[in-house]
Amino acid sequence: MPDTTLPGTDTPFDDLPADLLDDLRTLVECESPSSDPEALARSADLVAGLGTRLLGAEPERLGIHLRWRLGGPTRVLVLAHHDTVWPVGSLRTHPFAVTDGVLRGPGSFDMKTGLVMALHALASLDDRTGVTLLVTGDEELGSPSSRALIEDEARGAHAALVLEASADGGALKLERKGTSIYEVVLAGRAAHAGLEPEKGVNASVELAHQVLAVAALGDPELGTTVVPTVAAAGTTRNTVPAAASFAVDVRARTVAEQVRVDTALRALTPVQPGAAITIEGGINRPPLERALSADLFARAQRLSAEAGLPPLTGVAVGGASDGNFTAGVGTPTLDGLGAVGGGAHADDEHVLVDRIPGRTALLRALLVDLVTDQPADQPADGARAGV
């Protein structure tokens, strides 16, 4: 591949696809916080233009989401997102830069490098039959508007490749816990805290009881965590609180554990006479269980060895991604194929530049292998050709 030198530096990266760093810099410098519709629209326009140039086809515009169906029914779904957690203005304190082979900038690791890798890997393919690239704009919010789109596209696919950043050292993510998000709302009765507290029902006291009951629902042996987080209660110092609430973050490796915790939360009963409990929220993302990643991981390990790349490792992680949704509909899913680095969502967010070529080559090899491995009953020129 031709030499690539990042503008503003004198550092060559001989093995990078031409223009990849230029494209990555352009995306990182277009700030795209999930909660800013105008910024997301600008980012979607930029990604659409970049993809059109590289893939020779315009995407379907689905609000802040973009979809390229590159010929035939979706057999391989490639997933990425262009939103980040970084607010507009973050470039002033965290500018895009490459120093001693380490690339930095808001959203560079999570996950704009993976998005650019996907575009360049797809651009290099001679045959893209059955490949769909879906780039969403609300992943960092839990994918509220893209979940159905992801699930619908995944249902007909034989594989989903997720370009989220790798785990430590470049490990792929073979297992992700499912997530559930709750708000426990407690109702009591107000009274004067000094004159007649006995006439009240103290929502803060009820909160204390219920926080302990909820925290006890975790199961460390099964990897299930149930964590009370943000809490609020009361209105004034001298009033018995009539209302309180606390949030609960649940992570579980299996659907059965998600259901167990959900059932237990909804069965909570008040400790104090006159208090009431309402449970809001529920199961958000199903788990990515290892069984759904095992075959794709073995394939990736074989291809990596054949290409002379470093041995691939795989790990289980607690965080969730859109790969949870593809796995939730039964589609084999391989996650963590994107950048190698660290510091997601943190001041130290960074990407190791010398790992980008090998990761892009691995993604390309996986795509070629999966496209070539075409079922006999699926025509190569299926009805969904084009975009």
Which residues are known to be catalytic?
83, 139
User: What is the DSSP secondary structure assignment for residue 311, as one 8-state letter?
Assistant: P
Instruction: Let me know: does 211 contact 231? Beta carbons within 8 Å.
Output: yes
Q: How far apart are CA 121 and CA 131, in angstroms?
A: 12
Q: How far apart are CA 235 and CA 57, in angstroms?
A: 57
DSSP assignments along 357-374, one per residue = HHHHHHHHHHHHHHHHS-
- From 77, 105, 78, 93, select the one nearest 8 (Cα to Cα): 105
Give the burial class of 120: count Cβ atoms within 10 A of its Cβ; 0-12 exposed, 13-18 middle, 19 or more buried: buried
Reading the block at residue 145, the tokens are 């508007």
CA distances from 21 to 2, 13, 108 (A): 13, 9, 11
Reading the block at residue 191, the tokens are 């009274």
Q: How far apart are CA 235 and CA 281, in angstroms?
A: 24
Instruction: Tell me how crowded residue 329 is: count the other CB atoms within 10 A of its CB.
Output: 17
Q: How far apart are CA 361 and CA 20, in angstroms?
A: 13
Q: How far apart are CA 371 and CA 351, in angstroms?
A: 29
Strand, coil or helix: 17: coil
Q: How far apart are CA 113 and CA 350, in angstroms?
A: 10
CA angle 36/39/40 to nearest 5° reads: 80
Written as one letter, the residue type at 245 is S
Distance from chain centroid for Cα 148: 15
Instruction: Tell me how crowded residue 387 is: count the other CB atoms within 10 A of its CB.
Output: 17
CA distances from 304 to 227, 332, 362 (A): 38, 19, 6
